Structure 1
Amino acid sequence: MATILHIAFVEQWEAAREAGCYRWSTRGTSLDDGATFIHASRPEQVAVVANFVYADVTEPLCLLVIDTERLVSALCEEPVGDQMFPHIYGPLNLDAVVDVRRYEQGADGRWPAVTAQAVS
């Protein structure tokens, strides 16, 4: 099973479970606002993204662990800076989310690194 991760606010994930699909692209932007894809990361990219996009957030976030083989929407690898990131073009179907992990800042106020083993 190939997996990717999406950083989410707990409340948005809970609302998605009630709605039947997840539509948040990234912090403050959803597919309903005109975003064309949902941002995702591989484990080694999560901390970089979290510390850039969510640096001022103090509440716990969650990591949606996504089985790429279960995705209904298209998945594309695209360059962002000097790295390739997975992007989901369309809503995230809930059955593709195989786990949800709590993600909290460390004592130093930074979002910690995530290993592949931690989400497998």
Structure 2
Amino acid sequence: MIYHVTLASDWKQSEALGRHAISGRGMTLESEGYLHFSYSHQLPGVLQRYWARVTEPVVLLTVDPDLLDLPVVAENTSGGTELFPHLYGPLPLAAVVEVRQLAINADGGAQL
């Protein structure tokens, strides 16, 4: 499984559209070229770096890569060595197997 964190309001809009094209907080598929995902062991760091102090409701999407119509590319586009999963296209809703509300505290910690 791979994981994607997004604002609950963005997810609600994606459900209405039938696809998710939000790459990350404040980023779209159009602006980034791909959607950001994480492996389970990467979630604590991602939450701490990018989602701490977010006051809006946030959800965690669990995505089954076998249900995607595009391949997941493991890479680091920032030049680091840690590889993150990316999807170079919109996320089809049928690939999302779980949507869970996250309660993120001020330092980015969350009950996963």
TM-score of the aligned structures, taking structure 2 as reference length:
0.89
C-alpha distance in 2, partners of 1:60/1:31? Answer: 21
Give the match's secondary structure for 1:87: strand
What residue is the counterpart of 1:4 in the other structure? Answer: 2
Extract unaligned runs of 5+ from structure 2.
Answer: none
Shift, 1:75, TM fit: 1.0
Deviation at 1:51, TM superposition (A): 1.0
Deviates more, 1:49-58 or 1:6-15: 49-58
Greater strand share, structure number: 1
Q: For residues 41-80 of structure 1, what are the structure 2 equivalents within 5 Å?
A: 41-79=38-76
The residue that corresponds to 2:86 in the other structure is 87
**Partner amino acid for 2:25?**
R
CA distance in 2 between counterparts of 1:74 and 1:61 reads: 26
- Displacement after TM superposition at 1:112 (Å): 2.5
2:47 matches 1:31? no
Alignment RMSD, CA only?
A: 1.6
> How many angstroms does 1:56 deviate by?
2.3
TM-score of the superposition, structure 1-length normalised? 0.83
Deviates further, 68-77 or 79-88: 79-88
Aligned residue for 2:104?
A: 105
Moved over 4 A (4+): none
| Whole-angstrom distance in 1 between the partners of 2:111 and 2:101 | 13
Partner AA of 1:37 in structure 2: Y
Query: How many positions carry a matched residue from both structures?
Result: 110
8 Å contact kept, 1:44–1:113: no
How far 1:109 sits from its partner (Å)?
4.1
